[in-house]
Chain A
Amino acid sequence: DAGVIQSPRHEVTEMGQEVTLRCKPISGHNSLFWYRQTMMRGLELLIYFNNNVPIDDSGMPEDRFSAKMPNASFSTLKIQPSEPRDSAVYFCASSLVPAYNEQFFGPGTRLTVL
């Protein structure tokens, strides 16, 4: 099992540019989560999907952030336009519904916005 796959692993971009982060969950998992980790705010849940449907996006910071899950094996998190304060490590995680199942995290994407 390859685990949760994220790409790119590192992204450096300039303010105002569009950034797209990608995630492939573990095969068979039907819940997918996007988290952001910073020193100041810790680990924050941005959005999560069950069966490809967004369930809770209350953590999405603002309209510049959007997430999609077109099918069970792929999700994207897009930031447009990016700002320096978006610099963070973004994690994707997947799990099985129902709850109480372990969330498996990917290796993360380190985003730097100059």
Chain B
Amino acid sequence: QQQVKQSPQSLIVQKGGISIINCAYENTAFDYFPWYQQFPGKGPALLIAIRPDVSEKKEGRFTISFNKSAKQFSLHIMDSQPGDSATYFCAARGEAAGNKLTFGGGTRVLVKP
């Protein structure tokens, strides 16, 4: 059972454009929502994370928007650069699950120069 649904599966954006990736979850017990970035041949690495007590978190060109009532959260990459080309995974964790993260299916982002 997929508890975190991620869309789109792939995304092509021009350099300087905005990349938007969406995730929806079902389990209302989730209380921590990280995004991981993965380059080809590498393991995923934490990009940015949010707790549900805030609706937005920004770090540089990366912003998470969180809508608790809709059980949705999204990643916005502003001024997308070719170096941002990677696969992005959203994830969620609930206290009852201990340290366990449930990952979305991933979005492959290609930024064209």
**A residues near B, CB below 8 A?**
4, 31, 33, 42-45, 48, 50, 55-56, 91, 93, 95, 97, 99-108
| CB–CB A48/B43 < 8 A | no
B22-40: CB near A (< 8 Å → 1, else 0) gives: 0000000000101000000
Of B32, B44, B102, B106, which one neighbours A100 at CB under 8 angstroms? B32
Nearest CB in chain A: distance from B25 CB, A: 15
Chain B interface (Cβ within 8 Å of chain A)?
Answer: 32, 34, 41-46, 49, 51, 89, 93, 95, 97-106
- Check A91 against B46 for contact (C-beta < 8 Å): no
Interface centre among B44, B103, B104, by most chain A C-beta atoms within 10 angstroms, is B44
CB contacts between A and B, total, < 8 Å: 59
Q: In the bound complex, do residue A95 and residue B99 qualify as a contact, i.e. CB atoms below 8 Å apart?
A: yes
Chain A, interface SS category: strand
Q: Which residue of B lies closest to A92 (CB)?
A: B43
A100, B99: Cα distance in complex, Å? 8
State whether A48 touches B106 (Cβ < 8 A). Answer: no
Contact partner of B95 (CB less than 8 A), chosen from A55, A95, A99, is A99
11 A–B contacts, CB within 8 A, in A order: A4-B43, A33-B99, A45-B101, A45-B102, A56-B100, A97-B99, A100-B93, A103-B101, A107-B42, A108-B42, A108-B43
> Hey, which chain A residues are within 8 Å of B93, CB to CB?
99-100
How distant is the Cα of A56 from the Cα of B101 in the complex, in angstroms?
Answer: 12
